[in-house]
Each structure stands twice: as C-alpha cells, then as structure tokens.
Structure 1
C-alpha cells in the first residue's frame, strides 16, 4: 500500500491522503480499481480520526483505493471554501487516475455527519461531481447552524437529476442530527429520479463510524452490531453500481494426465523437478524459483500456470522451455 499526503491548491489547511493498493501480476483483474474519497465528520470544527483511516481500511479490504480529505475548518469553514477543497480533491484523483490505478468514472464520496453535508454538497452543487454518494448520518439542513463555526447551505432543495446515486444510513434516534435530515434528502432524491438505497436503523448514537470496537474510543455506545452491517451493505450496493472485479477466467490445466509421455510446461512441476536435467534447464530460465517461500505449493502445478501468475517468461521463452523439456527422455 502506498500512502502519501498532499496539500490542496493554495489552501494549506486542506490535505488529501492517499491509500493506494499495489498492483500485482497475480491480480490482473485489479490492475485498476474504483475508489472511495472519505470526508470525516466533526461539525466543521475538526476531522474525526475515527471516521478517517479506519473507514479507508474497510474499503481497502474490499479492493477499493481510498482517499481521506481533511477540509477547511473553523475560521476557514465558511462556504464555498470546504466545497472548493472537495472539488480539488476529486479533481486531483481523476487527474492522477492513470498513475494511481484509479478508474476515473468509478469514484464514490463517503461523508460522515458534517462530512456527509460536504459530500452531499459536492453531489448537488459541486462544480464536478462524484459517481456515487455514501452518506453516513449526514447533516443536510441548515437548522443546526448554531452548532457550526460558519453558515452552511441547506441541501434538500439542491438535489437535481445530476446528483449521483446515493447510499445513506442513519439511526432513527440520533439525538444530534435528527433523522429528518436524511428523510428530507431522500425525498428530494425520489422527486429528482435519482437512485438511492437507505438504511434507517432503529437505535444508535450519532457518530458511530464503523460501529465496531476499534472505532469506539472505548465507549460502549459507539459499538452497535446492527449498524455495523452498513459497510457490508454499502459494498454490495457499490458493486451493483460500479460492477465487481472480474473473476470469470478458468484455471489452466495443472495436472498431468495419466497418459502423459513427456516432460513439458503443462505437467506438474514436481514431475520435471525430479529429473536433474529438467531441473537444471528450468533454473536456467527461472533462476531462484526454488527459493520461493511457496515453492512446495508450486511443485503441485504446472510451469504454465506458475507463469500465468508471475509473467516471468514471455510466450516465446515459455515455448522454448517447453520444447527443450519435451526433448529430454522421460524417466521410467
């Protein structure tokens, strides 16, 4: 994983942190990936660590690249400055999509509480917009402005047909941001014809993050088994929107048939390895193959299968090795 933090545009108060999964020839179906840009909550006064890196790790574990935006706060929180931070972050991701292995039209934004307000603002009034919205107990209306350092736009009237498909979850008894914030936004999505999925859990405190012990700050109120299901529900929804990682290839033939009459790259490696001449030939093409920590497992499959994962040999070299192995007399 590659992690790096950038300062956005001329605003030294906003930073973007990357969490990029590495590419591997063993995973050719994930050479490029969708991404999730995360906006932590904190009433535009701070960015909660509980809603930042742990959430990024949850999406990373499902194969998504992740990014965390720490946007303008406190005396810098007056709109449109936080929105400009969000626009700059999304623009940076799409501009660097090639270098970062991101699919540029599969970038979701995930916001919590005030971060949910910022995500919803990006999805409704942003100069550029994400491809999906994930809103966690979001602040939507401007009726809680007294709790914030600066006025905010009320977003229920800003939803239009260009607002991205939205996944939203909250709790019915949220004592800080009432559920009507979410209901007003969902009603606006319905009027605009925007696809959405909503989960309103019966109970749960505000600010649950992943609702699991490691994001609870040690508080029992911040652990909720029912609400903790939101991340799995969200991943399933994202896969329906973006599509999953392709997994429709067949394994190459790995085992020798009983009637195999020669050494080749298509018989189990252990069959060739038992012959000193074959072993020396294989090492001349694949030096150090026997030093791999997984060599005992590799012995069970064919060289063709091994090469399909490692790409150590091009097709010409693999064909040469195959022909030379076939020329070695098969030991009884």
Structure 2
C-alpha cells in the first residue's frame, strides 16, 4: 500500500517532465533561427593577413562630419527573418537627387557581416553618394538563389524610399567584395530576370546601372575557378548551391555572371588582389563586354591578400577607383 503513492508521485513527475519537454520543442514546421557562422570577420581576416604583411592595418577612417546614418532598418521579411540594412547619406539638399550604391559583404556566402563595409559606405556618402549596406540570407539559412533575391529586394527598397534619402532612381550601382562581388556581378547582369524578382516591393525595379566587383568570381565552372573542389573539405559554393557542381552543374552555370552578359549589361569595374582564382572568368567576361561596346576597367593589387579592401594601404585606392568609376558612368556630364 505504501508503494502506490510513491508510484503515483513518480508517474506525475514523468508526465510533467514529458510535458515540459514537449512545450520546449518547436511546433511542427516552425522555422528556427540558423546558427550564425562567424568564421569570416574583419579581425580574423586581419590576423591571417598580418602574418604575411605585418605593415597592414584595419581601415577605420573617421566618418565625414556631413554624413548622416540610419541603421538597422528592416527592408524585407523572409519567413521569420526580418532582413535589415543601413543607409549612409549626405545631408539632403532641396531638389538634389544623388546616385546610390548597394554594398554587399563577402564571406563565402555563409559568413561575414554588412558592418564590414560601413567605413566604405561612410566615405562614399562623403563623396556625394547614398550608400546602403544590406544583410542577406546566408547558406546556413537558405541556399541559392535566396541571397540574390534578397539583395534585389534591397534595391527595390532603395527605389521605394528614394524620396526619403534623395536617391536618383535612374542611377543605382551595386558594389560587392568576394562572395559579395560574385553577387554584385550576377545582380547587375540579370536586370529584370524573373527568377530573382521575388519578395518585397514588387512594383519597383531592381535594375542597376553600374557594377563594382571586388575579387568576386565571374564563372564557377571555369578553368580558373577553384570553387567546387570538395576533395578535402566541402567548398563554400557547394554549401551555397546545396549540391556539388557534378550533380547540378546547371545551377553553377546559372549563378555565373559570365552566363548572362548581354547588350544590356551595365558598365563594370573590377578591382582585384593577386589571388587569380578570385576573379575566375573576368577576362572572358570583359571580352564579351567589349564586343557589345560596354565599358569596363580593371585595377589590380598583385601583392594584396584577398580581403584587401578591409585593410590599409588598399582601402584608400579601392575607394578612389570606385568613386572615379561611378563618377564616370553614373554622374551626368
């Protein structure tokens, strides 16, 4: 008789434990936040690069006093993820519209952060541009083509809010580094492509009038490309596409800017390090641009490591090349 109350108490404890465990579990089908990959940061890249060149330093120039900023602005919600962007802009002048630039961070499509290009955005704003740094879904959360769709939505957001920031909607550029450079080139060569035109602000255009690709690959399946070599470790691109290039090569071709070059492709600036595989397909793409009569230019730092735009002494010339190119192709003569 004494055993029954003890058994009953034990049963209650088991029931309560099971109930608490069930309540702690997510509802069926509920999307949980993806763990953030922090393998690529400005500091980690600096620590690695400094071993080869002890003279480098992280570029942190003072923001021009005339520059204003609005940060952490939600621009589009995908599932439960409210994607955010930051806007850096000159003090507005009445009736003056300015060209704008969307800046895209790198990190192998699975790491990195939009804050890495805040210094560049501030300096571009000081030169008369509206500069936007935007996050996008990484491969830990969603595979290709989610990142492209997100960033095109950011461009549509820029046009939808053009009056607030004094943006000239006919003069938008996209700038990207590494994986961001690949995305910038793909975005600019697929103006109006319905595959990527999904998401927020559907009544606005995501087209751009200029591209700046900083060490971003132009062709995944190419003799110069190192992406997709999974012999030692799964490559960043394989993670992004969700399968090796031998399984779905059509996706790897589709995501290559070289595949989409046409007479409608905007002018492109290439700024490159000495790591040749980071601009695979560039020369082939430039030859196509020349055939269409489209302007392009290349600047290269043969001694520079891949993350060079984050560091001195390369930050200042990268900014200079960017501004000179954008002034040439976007600003009225």
Scaled to the shorter chain, the TM-score interval is 0.5 to 0.7
> For the residues of structure 2 that align with 1:49 and 1:162, how far apart are their CA atoms?
29
SS of match in other structure, 1:52: helix
Q: TM-score w.r.t. structure 2 length?
A: 0.62
Unpaired stretches in structure 2, ≥5 consecutive residues: 1-67, 193-205, 229-234, 242-251
Q: Which whole-Å CA distance do the structure 2 matches of 1:182 and 1:209 have between them?
A: 18
Q: Could you say what the CA RMSD is over the residues aligned between the two structures, in angstroms?
A: 2.3
Q: Which residue of 2 aligns with 1:80?
A: 145
Please say which structure displays the higher CA radius of gyration: 1
The offset of 1:50, in angstroms, is 6.5
Equivalent residue in structure 2 for 1:190, among 277, 287, 290? 290
Corresponding residue to 2:266 among 155, 164, 171: 164
Report whether the alignment pairs 1:211 with 2:311. Answer: yes
The TM-score with structure 1 as length reference comes to 0.62
Mapping of 1:99-248 within 5 angstroms? 99-127=164-192, 128-142=206-220, 143=225, 144-145=227-228, 146-148=235-237, 149-151=239-241, 152=252, 153-171=255-273, 173-174=274-275, 177-212=277-312, 223-224=313-314, 228-243=316-331
SS at match of 1:111: strand
Of 65, 85, 89, the residue aligned with 1:16 is: 85
Are the counterparts in 2 of residues 135 and 166 from structure 1 also a CA contact under 8 Å?
yes
Distance 1:42 1:236 in 2: 26
Once the two structures are superposed, what CA deviation does each residue of 1:246-282 show, in whole Å capped at 9, x if it has no partner? 9xxxxxxxxxxxxxxxxxxxxxxxxxxxxxxxxxxxx
**Cα contact 2:92–2:165 (8 A) shared by 1:** no
Aligned mates of 1:124, 1:196 — CA distance in 2:
13
Structure 2 CA distance, aligned partners of 1:111 and 1:239? 17
Aligned positions of 1:37-56 closer than 5 A = 37-48=102-113, 51-56=116-121
Measured at CA, do residues 159 and 51 of structure 1 come closer, stay the same or move farther in structure 2, by a change above 3 Å? farther
Q: CA deviation at 1:210?
A: 4.7
Listed as ranges, the matches of 1:93-104 within 5 Å are: 93-104=158-169
- 1:69-115 superposed Cα distances (whole Å, 9 cap, x missing partner): 11110233422211111110111101111122111111111010100
Alignment pair present for 1:70 and 2:148: no
SS, match of residue 41 in structure 1: coil
Q: Which residue of 2 aligns with 1:6?
A: 73
1:35 and 1:66 in contact (8 A); partners too: yes
The answer for the alignment partner of 1:59 in structure 2 is 124
Q: Name which structure has the greater RCO, CA cutoff 8 Å, separation 6+.
A: 2
Quote the Cα distance in structure 2 between the aligned partners of 1:132 and 1:36.
Answer: 9
Q: Residue 138 of structure 1 contacts residue 182 of structure 1 at CA under 8 Å; is this kept in 2?
A: no
Q: Secondary structure at the match of 1:150?
A: helix
Structure 1 gaps of 5+ residues are 213-222, 247-332
CA shift at 1:203, angstroms? 1.9
User: Relative to 1, partners in 2 of residues 1:49 and 1:94: Cα closer, same or farther, differing over 3 Å?
Assistant: closer
Q: Would the aligned equivalents of 1:2 and 1:22 in 2 still touch at CA under 8 Å?
A: no
Structure 1 ranges of 4+ moved more than 6 A: none
